[in-house]
Amino acid sequence: MTSQTRPLPVAVIGGGFSGLMAAERLLNALPPDRPVLLYERSRPFGLGLAYTTANPDHLLNLRATQMSADPDRQDDFAEWLARTQFDVTERRGIRVTEAGTFASRGVYGRYLAARWERVVAGAGDRLQAIHAGIVDVERAPEGFVLHDGDGTTRRVAGLVLAMGNLPGPVVAASRYRRDPWRPDTFGSLDPDRDVLVIGAGLTMMDSVATLRHAGFAGRIVAVSRRGLLPKPHAPVAAGHRPSLTPEIRASARKLFGAVRHAVASAEAAGADWRGVIDALRPVTDELWTGLPPTEQARVLRHIRPYWDVHRHRTAPPAAEAIAAEIRRGQLVVRAARIVALSDTPEHAVVTIRPRGTRDRETIAAQAILDATGFSRLAETEDPLIRALLRRGLIRPGPFGLGIAATPGGAVTGPEEGRATDAPLWAFGPMLRGVLWECIAVPDIRDAAGDLADRVARRISG
């Protein structure tokens, strides 16, 4: 069969982990004559933002045993680690701890690159991996027309949006702002002047490792509303899930009261709080989607920062490195709000209000790294997201997070919860807001098969 007589392809936009998983499973689920296109604008295929780093101190925040990319073989990554030869830098990035083995994200990127090669080899000419950024999408009778940045257009029968976390919000404009993922843009930093990191979570920890790797020896000040640091993993298995009645499940306060109670009981019995948190993981999406919107808003406002530091834990060596920085006074973590920011010729003047006070303090920052994570859909300057919003093809998800979609990923229109007639899906962190657990490797890996089946049913039907 020639390419002219083939049915139109299904396209995936975004060649990170979500794109790799979606493309791989679509190749299995779609009829064998249906091609798959995968677009990636800037990185090697399969790695995305998280796994392109070469810094051996950028560690995975899950154990090797949790990071398999193969839904049918839970130990695939751990076994690959055991049989692969590594160079000196890579070996530095593999840390065996009491809580399990944690590899660097660069090593994990190598694992994904090997998987990608196998997918390409197995797919033959059915898979087209295109290094281009899609900047616009038009609805067409048979699906969509995709426009890439070079002016090339392609017709497709269906489209999966897998563009990952949207770039962080611009808290305030400053010419001292630097991209935490681009150390090449840091310039030469003066060891006698502060660098400000906005946020205190996993991305802040990464930013500290990036700054040190880039040779910065000065003081780093991290500012976040609550100043909470991610907790480290420990050698603990999942414990008992607290019993959650329908009454408890309907209220944010009661739900988290029940979790706190279960943690207290576990600790009184000599067990670790982590067991309770981990036991909740299989039902977190269900708990989130079961809460009324007003209660979901309460979770986001009051509970999420505490939940995140307990649930999204860090590798013990990364936590130890941060603790050592704090002990030496090289890293100062402030619980405060940024209330003003202005630039002088030498530095940015950042005014903060420490939590629980009316005081004002200023920080003179020679560079500012925004480590707050992801932005709300409407705030992003991403050209494709802006084009999709303009054309009415997508809407912001609940609370402005991610894209409005069904829990299965079908993009929904103005009628709440109803999929549009367009063959359009969102996948991975783009579903943030609809789902709670959609951002980490195990969630994305396990969800890809169902997504591909739904796409195949819709396209074939």
Ligand X SMILES: Cc1cc2nc3c(=O)[nH]c(=O)nc-3n(C[C@H](O)[C@H](O)[C@H](O)COP(=O)(O)OP(=O)(O)OC[C@H]3O[C@@H](n4cnc5c(N)ncnc54)[C@H](O)[C@@H]3O)c2cc1C
Per CB under 6 A, 403 contacts ligand X: no
Beta-strand (E) ranges in 20-125? 36-40, 94-97, 100-103
The CB-of-10 to ligand X minimum distance in angstroms stands at 15
Nearest residue (CB) to ligand X, 164 versus 423: 164
The CB-of-370 to ligand X minimum distance in angstroms stands at 13
Per CB under 6 A, 230 contacts ligand X: no
Gap between the terminal Cα atoms of the chain: 22
**Following DSSP, what letter does each residue of 375-441 receive, concatenated?**
--GGG---HHHHHHHHTTS--B-GGG-SB-B-TT-BBB-SSTTPBPSS-EEE-GGGGBTTBSS-SSH
Per CB under 6 A, 15 contacts ligand X: yes
Per CB under 6 A, 232 contacts ligand X: no
Per CB under 6 A, 17 contacts ligand X: yes
Per CB under 6 A, 428 contacts ligand X: yes
Nearest residue (CB) to ligand X, 13 versus 81: 13
Per CB under 6 A, 11 contacts ligand X: no
Nearest residue (CB) to ligand X, 313 versus 347: 313
Per CB under 6 A, 429 contacts ligand X: yes
Tell me which H or E stretch contains 156.
strand 153-156
Per CB under 6 A, 50 contacts ligand X: yes
The CB-of-65 to ligand X minimum distance in angstroms stands at 12
Q: Which two tokens stand for residue 266?
A: 């576990």
Nearest residue (CB) to ligand X, 112 versus 262: 112
Per CB under 6 A, 163 contacts ligand X: yes
Per CB under 6 A, 18 contacts ligand X: yes
Nearest residue (CB) to ligand X, 298 versus 432: 432
Per CB under 6 A, 159 contacts ligand X: no
Per CB under 6 A, 350 contacts ligand X: no
Determine which residue in the list 8, 99, 211, 441 makes contact with ligand X, applying CB under 6 A.
441
Q: Which two tokens stand for residue 106?
A: 């660069």
Determine which residue in the list 9, 14, 183, 232 makes contact with ligand X, applying CB under 6 A.
14
Per CB under 6 A, 380 contacts ligand X: no
User: Quick count: other Cβ atoms within 10 Å of Cβ 413?
Assistant: 16
Closest by CA to 304, choosing from 411, 226, 194, 376, is 226
How buried is 168 (Cβ within 10 angstroms: 0-12 exposed, 13-18 middle, 19+ buried)? buried
CA distance 287 to 78: 31
CA dihedral 318, 113, 214, 93 (to 10 degrees): 40
- Count of residues touching ligand X (by CB under 6 A): 31
Closest by CA to 392, choosing from 412, 409, 368, is 412
User: Quick count: other Cβ atoms within 10 Å of Cβ 151?
Assistant: 7
Closest by CA to 425, choosing from 127, 17, 7, 26, is 26
Per CB under 6 A, 61 contacts ligand X: yes
Per CB under 6 A, 77 contacts ligand X: no
Per CB under 6 A, 242 contacts ligand X: no
Beta-strand (E) ranges in 253-357? 331-343, 348-354
Stretch that binds ligand X, among 26-34, 59-67, 225-233, 236-244 (CB under 6 A): 59-67
Strands 134-140 and 94-97: unpaired
Per CB under 6 A, 439 contacts ligand X: yes
Residues that bind ligand X (CB under 6 A): 13-19, 39-43, 48-50, 60-62, 133-134, 162-165, 206, 384, 428-429, 439-441
